[in-house]
Structure 1
């Protein structure tokens, strides 16, 4: 019997066993009076009672054992998302619900849930998550710990400062005559390094400062080089910032009569 009301099996005589699968679902079988549950779940928890009766129906022995099925503590997933150099979000999620979440940056507690579920609006029903907004330049060890029934699992990542995206340069050619052209490289923003080449020949390289035309917008940087109008080749501009880069190239064509 389970919990004093659900009969699991009954043996009338040696070799004759009646099983009640509607009370113990997912059982794999009964072997010599032993019930093998197979994939045990929390609903299998409870008090199991064995009663032994004599041929006259008199109770000879009664033994009760309590079974507690505990689900494994899920391993949390920790992530960082940069929204800008000044803002980021950090998240901790895990499969399931009902566990306690302790979310820290180094020794600083960011959030702690008290054994209840906090989830995003469109998050799957079997997944719990917490999300915290932080300044984009914070760094350190970001740790999330999941606690349930006295057990715990933890995950940590190294939090990195957010960087501004590297802009993609725009490269252009302008023919002034068959003997003269100008080539330009521009990008949105400033403070990045520009490397401007024709094939393997370096045309100009700026050193992390803004080179702009007099009437150019304040948030745009540009370099312009005069070349002979009959030059051809691959014109490449590369923008470098904070160890990252973006590049663009065009095919330089000889200028024709204007």
Structure 2
């Protein structure tokens, strides 16, 4: 009995040391399909060989993978690997493709579906626990992609999702012939195709097809995305809740981001 006790005492420190030695690192990746190349960064553990859950983060309009890095450490603490990427043509700074004249909500939706399919077949990913997080336009894209991937995506987080994009641009251009060849949006040039494609898109007829848990996080002072759209979306989902950050706009300051991440932590830990 004494020998067993001594053995346990010797093994315990080794176990603690082993846990502390888990190192998380960033690995640059290129994922290609159908001639489209997607650049991203995978935040993952260096010394762990078992399958781990994965979060795929979609940035907003004219954003990049840098947005997702805010989530790397918090998600790692929860045991999640994270992949943050640049949508091809999604930004003037995109490493995938910076020609924003070819930006397309539908291309972005399909790119996200490609990423889900890619990672669900990787031996280091627990395919039953793939989570999508999308911000602003990336939130719209995430909601649309999840609706077409009801079994492959375990949970969804929408951060001030721009579900209003089709309605907003249909108000701006009521008729197809009114759309110019080039439109500047926040000094970012967009081609005619972007607006033509979203004209017939009925967002709220589609997103509710996703039946698994959804969390929406938004500020009540958002000048870009209406609270009414997020409130409407919550009612369409089978399992969803809306967390409102008082005073927050379209984009969170450090304290608001902290609140958002805490809600995401609670959401991901719920069974």
TM beyond 0.5? no
Greater helix fraction, Structure 1 or Structure 2: 2
TM tier relative to shorter chain: under 0.3
Q: Please report the TM-score for the alignment, with normalisation by the length of structure 2.
A: 0.24
Q: Which has the higher contact order (CA 8 A, sep 6+)?
A: 2
Greater strand fraction, Structure 1 or Structure 2: 1
